[in-house]
Structure 1
Amino acid sequence: MYSTPKKFYHIHGCDARKSLELYFSGNKTMVFAEDSLTFPMMNLHYVLSRGFIQGNLLVDFSKGSVIHHLYSASNIFKDIILLKIREKCAMELRRWLNDRTGAFDWTHTKTAVAQLEGKSDHIENIELNLKASIRQIVMCNPDKENLTDPMVLPPADCVISAWLLDVICKDEDDYMRNLKKISNLLKMGGYLIIIGVLNATYLASDVECLHVFKYDESFVRFALSKSGFVVDYCAVQRRKNVSDLADYTHIMCITAHKEK
């Protein structure tokens, strides 16, 4: 357990590049590969290849500057809007999106997705397809009822939220409020995909420690049901790594559609 005072992601921010290097890099010494990389890519590929999630617009409301969970989504959605709370995360994304010097190298993830999709001969197309689908990077504020205020987005066919609810929610009531704001981004019948860590209290780096709201699978199912969603798919995997950078026990991917 880290003794450093915990920071709130949406209030204090975090080092966007450091987070990518510690939790999402292709470095062989990066211990989180199975949980942070393989698990979300496999589950998103599985869910999105089943054919019941369709549409034109996907909104991604995720932590940091991650993009690897969106490769499979770009096979379905021609328009993807990325919502970002922190400007530094948006800058990191623009660096990658525009092929600028110093952009984070996602080669290890596009190679893995190409293998999942049976497209190993077209690895470069995986990344190009995603970049072509990203229409906007929009700054947002989780304290506002309309996250993108004053901008009003068209209702989305699907929203993906990866690891963000974990770090912006203080407690159960806060989680419910934020879930409602996410629901407002969706059209009726649209799908919400949440990736998160269970039973966690912190995520750390060498210099900072982020607060994480501690919850379990049953709470997420309850929260979704109370917010008008019906769960269609849920996968939970026990933690595969050994590191004191985070204290979660499992990682979860849950998919639900908006019924009311």
Structure 2
Amino acid sequence: MNKEKFGREDYLKYFDPVAFLKMYHSDIKGNQDEGDLMPWKMKNLHDVFAEGKLTGRRLLDIGTGPTIHSVISASNYCDTVYLSDFTPQNRETLRKWLDGSLQHSFKSFFQYVVDKEGKGTSPSCREEELRKKICGILPIDLLLEEPLAPCYFPRFDMVTTSFCLDAVALDHVDYGLAAQKITNMLKIGGHLVVCGLHGSCGFKVGEHVFRSCHVSVEQVKDTWTRCGFDIVDWREQESDKTRRNTVSTFDGVFVMVAKRVR
């Protein structure tokens, strides 16, 4: 897959939520070119929250995109959820999901989660439970001194982010700067859950290629440790190098749970 030069304006001009959802979120299987990335991600997000150690009143999801799959499991362990994204088109897509007017269905994701939770809840009821916990869909820019400006919030009890820093940062230095902004939004003693890619170069949405930050596992762990976190859980899966992947490039996917200690 050929790389294209990254620019902030790329996401504003070219990121198509409809194409993204069709390519990567048609169902729980995800994009077949990426192997079992999506099922692996959903399983491990469920598992880290199901242990019951991650709880809090207020949760912020950073870089939600046009999809809500990454907060489904987390929503059982907090009272309120705030979603956020850089692009207006993604925030509008989230608003359509919230008011029930979005044409895209996340039913298979909710079905997967309720099956895992084993409480006999229907996917539609679980989706409504999540909707009731959403307290805001916020603009966010991790390159600003105050990423949520003009909104200001007390520090959150939990922060989650999925495949966001890979897209925001140009290199591991930028990755560290963005990580520090995220750190400042979380309470000391609060927990951070990051789902990310290591060794990533880019991904396609429609015909447009967006570059990703190429960081190693060591760089990711070192960044968050320097930001004042203890990494309490790390789950990783390497990509299948024998598979022909035409939509994205990465060496592996990880889910990290970390506690802010300073």
* 2:259 is the counterpart of 1:257: yes
Equivalent residue letter for 1:12: D
1:182 to partner: Cα distance: 0.3
8 Å contact 1:58–1:158 — kept in the other structure?
yes
1:53 to partner: Cα distance: 1.2
8 Å contact 1:171–1:213 — kept in the other structure?
yes
User: Which structure 2 residue ranges, 5 or more long, are not aligned?
Assistant: none
8 Å contact 1:199–1:249 — kept in the other structure?
yes
The residue number in structure 2 matching 1:34 is 36
Cα distance in 2, alignment partners of residues 70 and 168 from structure 1: 20
The residue number in structure 2 matching 1:201 is 201
SS of the residue corresponding to residue 56 of structure 1 reads: strand
The residue number in structure 2 matching 1:189 is 189
The residue number in structure 2 matching 1:11 is 9
8 Å contact 2:28–2:112 — kept in the other structure?
no
1:204 to partner: Cα distance: 1.1
1:44-92 deviations in Å (ceiling 9; x for gaps): 2111111221111000002521211111111111110111100000011
Report the RMSD for the aligned CA atoms in angstroms: 1.8
User: Which structure 1 residue ranges, 5 or more long, are not aligned?
Assistant: none
8 Å contact 1:23–1:33 — kept in the other structure?
no
Equivalent residue letter for 2:36: E
Cα distance in 1, alignment partners of residues 65 and 121 from structure 2: 30
Cα distance in 1, alignment partners of residues 238 and 173 from structure 2: 26
8 Å contact 2:30–2:36 — kept in the other structure?
no
- TM-score (norm. length: structure 2): 0.92
Aligned residues: 256
The residue number in structure 1 matching 2:172 is 172
8 Å contact 2:63–2:86 — kept in the other structure?
no
Taking structure 1 as reference, are residues 248 and 63 closer, same or farther at Cα in structure 2, changes over 3 Å only?
A: farther
Taking structure 1 as reference, are residues 29 and 129 closer, same or farther at Cα in structure 2, changes over 3 Å only?
A: closer
The residue number in structure 1 matching 2:58 is 57
1:152-179 deviations in Å (ceiling 9; x for gaps): 1121111001001000101111111100
SS of the residue corresponding to residue 249 of structure 2 reads: coil
Cα distance in 2, alignment partners of residues 196 and 221 from structure 1: 12
Cα distance in 2, alignment partners of residues 66 and 81 from structure 1: 13
SS of the residue corresponding to residue 178 of structure 1 reads: helix
Deviates more, 1:158-167 or 1:235-244: 235-244
1:42 to partner: Cα distance: 1.2
1:233-256 deviations in Å (ceiling 9; x for gaps): 011112256421111121111010
8 Å contact 2:29–2:36 — kept in the other structure?
no
Taking structure 1 as reference, are residues 28 and 251 closer, same or farther at Cα in structure 2, changes over 3 Å only?
A: closer
8 Å contact 1:237–1:252 — kept in the other structure?
yes
Taking structure 1 as reference, are residues 61 and 242 closer, same or farther at Cα in structure 2, changes over 3 Å only?
A: same
Equivalent residue letter for 2:77: I
Q: Map 1:1-260; keep pairs closer than 5 Å.
A: 1-2=1-2, 5-8=4-7, 10-13=8-11, 14-26=15-27, 30-31=31-32, 32=34, 34-36=36-38, 38-100=39-101, 102-239=102-239, 242-260=244-262
8 Å contact 1:201–1:211 — kept in the other structure?
yes
Cα distance in 1, alignment partners of residues 194 and 179 from structure 2: 10
Deviates more, 1:133-142 or 1:181-190: 133-142
8 Å contact 2:147–2:181 — kept in the other structure?
yes
Between the two proteins, what is the percent identity of the paired residues? Answer: 23
1:192 to partner: Cα distance: 0.7
